[in-house]
Chain A
Amino acid sequence: AQTVTQSQPEMSVQEAETVTLSCTYDTSESNYYLFWYKQPPSRQMILVIRQEAYKQQNATENRFSVNFQKAAKSFSLKISDSQLGDTAMYFCAIGDNDMRFGAGTRLTVKP
Chain B
Amino acid sequence: EPEVTQTPSHQVTQMGQEVILRCVPISNHLYFYWYRQILGQKVEFLVSFYNNEISEKSEIFDDRFSVERPDGSNFTLKIRSTKLEDSAMYFCASSELVGGPDYGYTFGSGTRLTVV
Is the Cβ of B107 less than 8 Å from the Cβ of A45? Answer: yes
Q: How far is the CA of A91 from the CA of B93 in the complex (A)?
A: 15
Interface-centre pick from B50, B104, B106 (highest chain A CB count, 10 A): B104
Interface segment out of the listed B13-21, B41-49, B64-72, B77-85: B41-49
Give chain A residues whose Cβ lies under 8 Å from the Cβ of B107: 37, 44-47
- Distance A45 CA – B44 CA, assembled complex (angstroms): 13
Residues from chain B with Cβ under 8 Å of A99 in the complex: 33, 45, 105
Digitize A32-50: 1 where CB-to-B-CB distance is under 8 Å, 0 elsewhere: 0101010000111111001
Choose, from A14-22, A63-71, A72-80, A100-108, the stretch at the interface: A100-108
- Judge whether B104 and A45 touch: CB under 8 Å: no
**Assuming the A-B contacts A103-B42, A104-B42, are A97 and B105 also in contact, with contact meaning beta carbons closer than 8 angstroms in the complex?**
no
Taking CB atoms, residues of chain A closer than 8 Å to B55 are: 97-98
Interface size on B, residues (CB 8 A): 25
Output the least CB separation between B77 and chain A (Å). Answer: 15
Contacts of B110 in A (CB 8 A): 43-45
Question: C-beta contact mask, B75-116 vs A, less than 8 Å → 1, else 0?
Answer: 000000000000001010100001000011111011000000
A97 touches B45 (CB 8 A): no
Are the CB atoms of B48 and A47 closer together than 8 Å?
no
Query: 6 closest Cβ contacts across the A-B interface?
Result: A45-B107, A98-B56, A101-B43, A103-B42, A96-B98, A44-B109
The range of chain A's interface size is: 20 to 34
A50 touches B50 (CB 8 A): no
- Closest beta carbon of chain B to A65's beta carbon, Å: 17
For the complex, give the distance between the alpha carbons of A42 and B107 in Å.
13
Q: Kindly state the separation between the CA atoms of A99 and B104 in the bound complex, as whole angstroms.
A: 10
Partner of B56, one of A37, A97, A101: A97
State the CA gap A110–B31 with chains docked (Å): 39
Pair A97/B50 contact, Cβ less than 8 Å? yes
Q: Which residues of B contact A100 (CB under 8 A)?
A: 45
Q: How far does the alpha carbon of A37 sit from the alpha carbon of B104 in the complex, in Å?
A: 11
From A98, A101, A102, name the one whose CB has the most chain B CB atoms within 10 angstroms.
A98
